[in-house]
Structure 1
């Protein structure tokens, strides 16, 4: 599927605010960037770098009212859906770069859920079956409700409240997967058919020697996803991080299929 992305973020920054932004489509094996343009007005000096996983970050010092625009056309016809079956890896067989995604993190306290996860999902079958059982449990027990959570909400809070938005669904899914010993990481994305259009948080699990994308909210088709960034949880994949307070003027995201 070929997707067109248009993102515009307008912010009011205090003088000389340092920012890190993760807005550009990631360079990964399951998507190809056919064209793209990143524009910041007023113009500013940008420092760009790419992580080992293909995620791209920009750094800059911004002041006053600033508009950041990103447009791209991305082909993701190499993306594969989670297979119908697949065993989870022994930890000794995992690549070293995958190991951090077995561990508890700020928003995903998986060590507190080991007993629950083993009782609820441990007997579901192989690794894929356990992940599918987690997704079904979230679907049946957690409501998608805006305003229930905030930027500080952890998976533990979502488990109690049984409500949240995509970020909260993702943190809970990651937490339960890690509690079963399955590596899982958060993914920020542009998503086709997301209503209302916005940045989307999903997650992926490491099974059968690869990472597999999953949307625990069921709001967007995986084939309509464009990866932006990945990390332990939301703290690693925020689309904008600044060292001073800033004010949102407007933010618009549009994703459409290119025929």
Structure 2
């Protein structure tokens, strides 16, 4: 399938400020960026670079004096995905056998304090027989017990805040799911991207859990079909995958995001009772 994605972010800058943007679609084995362009208005010099593990594509921009500007990204992306049938799954990969990169997604992080949720996670989800069932149970628990309310949290909200206050937005749902997975020794990472059929359109966050050698995607919000997600970045949590980081005196004034299908038939994929998941490697 081919998707067109578009995002436009506007800012007012009051003094010298450096911005780091993370809005490019990522090239992966299942996702290919066919065409893309980045426009800064008014024109400014930019630097493009990747994270050390290739999980993010960054743009760095330095504004030297007060101004207003808009950065716009457009791309056409071809995406494929793999349906993983967990009825035929292999055994859990023991922590001792995980490579160092995968194992890094077991540790507590700024927004995902898994070390504080171990007792709760084992009590609620430890009895499920398979890893997939554990993660799916976590996903369903968050969907059922956490109320989704736009604007209810902020950039400081953590998984502990979310499970205590029982309210949040997509990044909070993702952080809590990641923390609960890690508390059960299941590697989990943050996923941010463009989302087809998300209403209203915005950048979207969910999580990927490492199960039987595959990163399988889970979305506790259930706001978009799993096979309509275009990956921007992955990371330990939102601190690694923020769409925009501001170092200086500036403020955002508007955000526009859109994702549409341009070629191919689309049948929304969601979890079912047959233990099938979606993987975007």
Sort the TM-score into its range (normalised by shorter chain).
over 0.9
User: In structure 2, what is the equivalent of residue 37 of structure 1?
Assistant: 37
Find the counterpart in structure 1 of residue 61 from structure 2.
60
Structure 1: state its 5+ residue gaps: none
Partner Cα separation in structure 1 for residue 70 and residue 102 of structure 2: 36
CA RMSD of aligned residues (A): 1.3
* Residues 1:100 and 2:101 are matched in the alignment: no
The answer on 1:70 being equivalent to 2:69 is no
Q: Tell me the equivalent position of 1:83.
A: 85
Determine whether 1:145 maps to 2:154. no
Partners of 2:16 and 2:249 within 8 A in 1: no
The match for 2:272 is none
TM-score scaled by length of structure 1: 0.95
Question: Structure 1 pair 3/145, CA: closer, same or farther in 2 (3 Å)?
Answer: same
Q: How many residues are paired up?
A: 258
Question: What does the per-residue CA deviation read over 1:140-192, in whole Å, with 9 as the maximum and x for residues that have no partner?
Answer: 21111123211111111110111111011001000000000000111110000
| CA-to-aligned-CA distance 1:108-153 (integer Å, 9 cap, x gap) | 1000111111111111111111101111111221111123211111
What TM-score, normalized by structure 2, do the two folds share? Answer: 0.88
Shift of 1:245: 3.2
Unpaired runs of at least 5, structure 2: 264-281
How far, CA to CA, are the matches of 2:114 and 2:177 in structure 1?
A: 10
Is the 1:10–1:65 Cα contact (8 Å) retained in structure 2?
yes
- Answer yes or no: is the 8 Å Cα contact 1:191–1:226 preserved in 2: yes
Q: Residues 100-179 of structure 1: matches in 2 within 5 Å?
A: 100-179=104-183
Please give the secondary structure, in 2, of the residue aligned with 1:14. Answer: strand
